[in-house]
């Protein structure tokens, strides 16, 4: 087996410069190398050649797959193209990473998983935010039992602002307002609460303020887990007043997010013994973002367990899909994959 993973990026658009970002992350492992870029726009493949001299470039996925001299496809396309492109790559015998969210429906997620299983190749989703310092801090505090048994989590990505252009405005492309940062929030949640999901209840505001877009203005999911644990996740473009990213209640205390990044942290409300209460502040741990691609390389080359499994990413898509279904039906909806 080769000691180097040869990677091809599909989608080298200029938005957020995610192509260069992924390339730097994979190159940092010392075990992965960009060998090709595919983009419909020849200007973007020209830019890729300038960024990474010596790579091959293509302007159609079919041509890239016909060339085939790579092990891993990294798909950085609009959300509605993730599934179809991933299935093509899996069927061609390639390992696959897609940017988050995995796709825009549970059926698409299942098709992606099954296509990878048929060829015995990896399918993963770039849930790199598992390596954010604030999430690592929160998870460590909970795992250490600082606040006892968690029974309630509130999460908010909220503000007032005109939606961005293209995929951040068009529901057919994006999946909706919830599918951008909401995918990160739900992945965080499902790595804190590992219990099965009982049901999901959604509350959506469509075009209450921003009538020029088809993405919703405000989306909210109430998720009930087994063991009587509840989560409340809100993503909003019309919230003049927000709330902390995290408010977590446990049987012996609480955690409240207080700022992001290295200067941020958590207000900790805990107990010593059965009566003495205390309050303190815990600064965020540093992030560990290089670990995502380090795990990918180790999985492909050494058989190490995959960190971000496709079945985990599918649960995120289920919540997104079924919260909207609930908002339309007016009742809590059960999901197929708990």
Task: Clarify whether residues 157 and 111 are in a common domain.
Answer: no
Task: Clarify whether residues 154 and 122 are in a common domain.
Answer: no
For 47, which DSSP code? Answer: H
Task: Clarify whether residues 74 and 178 are in a common domain.
Answer: no
The model's pTM is 0.96
> Closest Cα partner for 96 from 68, 110, 81, 116?
116
Number of structural domains found in the chain: 2
Q: Check whether 126 has a pLDDT greater than 60.
A: yes
Element (H, E) at 268: strand 265-272
Provide the pLDDT for residue 32.
98
Provide the pLDDT for residue 112.
98
For 33, which DSSP code? Answer: E
- Rounded to the nearest integer, the mean pLDDT of the chain is 96
Up-side HSE of residue 58: CA atoms within 13 Å toward CB? 17
* Structure tokens belonging to residue 242: 């927000």
Host domain of residue 206: 130-288+318-329
Alpha carbon distance 200, 318 (integer Å): 9
Q: pLDDT tens, 280-332?
A: 999 999 999 999 999 999 999 999 999 999 999 999 999 999 999 999 999 99
Task: Clarify whether residues 301 and 209 are in a common domain.
Answer: no
* Buried b or exposed e, range 200-212, using 16+ CB within 10 angstroms: bbbebbbeeebee
The CATH number that applies at residue 151 is 3.30.360.10
The CATH number that applies at residue 19 is 3.40.50.720
Task: Clarify whether residues 98 and 25 are in a common domain.
Answer: yes
Provide the pLDDT for residue 181.
94
Task: Clarify whether residues 177 and 247 are in a common domain.
Answer: yes
- Contact by Cβ (8 Å): 202, 325: yes
For 23, which DSSP code? Answer: H
Provide the pLDDT for residue 1.
47
Average pLDDT over residues 234-240: 96
Q: pLDDT tens, 87-111?
A: 999 999 999 999 999 999 999 999 9
Q: pLDDT tens, 7-59?
A: 999 999 877 789 999 999 999 999 999 999 999 999 999 999 999 999 999 99
Task: Clarify whether residues 108 and 181 are in a common domain.
Answer: no
Provide the pLDDT for residue 24.
97
Provide the pLDDT for residue 63.
98
Task: Clarify whether residues 94 and 183 are in a common domain.
Answer: no
Q: pLDDT tens, 128-158?
A: 999 999 999 999 999 999 999 999 999 999 9
Task: Clarify whether residues 226 and 144 are in a common domain.
Answer: yes
């Amino acid at each position: 087996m080769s000691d180097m993973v040869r990677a091809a990026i599909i989608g080298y658009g200029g938005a957020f410069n995610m192509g260069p970002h992924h390339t730097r992350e994979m190159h940092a492992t010392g075990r992965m190398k960009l060998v090709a870029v595919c983009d419909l726009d020849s200007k973007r493949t020209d830019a890729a050649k300038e960024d990474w001299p010596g790579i091959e470039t293509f302007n159609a996925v079919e041509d890239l797959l016909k060339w085939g001299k790579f092990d891993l496809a990294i798909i950085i396309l609009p959300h509605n193209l993730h599934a179809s492109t991933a299935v093509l790559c899996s069927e061609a015998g390639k390992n696959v990473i897609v940017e988050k969210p995995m796709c825009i429906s549970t059926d698409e997620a299942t098709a992606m998983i099954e296509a990878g299983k048929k060829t015995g190749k990896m399918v993963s989703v770039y849930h790199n935010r598992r390596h954010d310092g604030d999430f690592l801090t929160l998870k460590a505090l909970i795992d250490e039992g600082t606040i006892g048994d968690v029974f309630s989590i509130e999460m908010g990505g909220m503000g007032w602002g005109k939606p961005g252009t293209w995929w951040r405005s068009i529901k057919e492309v994006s999946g909706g307002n919830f599918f951008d940062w909401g995918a990160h929030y739900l992945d965080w949640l499902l790595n804190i609460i590992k219990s099965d999901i009982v049901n999901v209840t959604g509350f959506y505001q469509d075009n209450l303020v921003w009538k020029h877009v088809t993405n919703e203005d405000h989306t909210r999911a109430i998720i009930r887990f087994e063991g009587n644990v509840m989560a409340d996740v809100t993503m909003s473009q019309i919230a003049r007043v927000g709330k902390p990213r995290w408010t977590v209640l446990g049987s012996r205390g609480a955690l409240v997010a207080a700022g992001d990044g290295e200067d941020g942290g958590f207000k900790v409300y805990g107990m010593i013994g059965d009566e003495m209460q205390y309050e303190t502040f815990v600064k965020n741990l540093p992030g560990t973002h290089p670990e995502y691609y380090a795990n990918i390389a180790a999985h492909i080359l050494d058989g190490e367990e995959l960190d971000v499994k496709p079945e985990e990413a599918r649960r995120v898509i289920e919540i997104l899909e079924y919260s909207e279904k609930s908002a339309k039906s007016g009742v809590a909806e059960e999901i197929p994959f708990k």
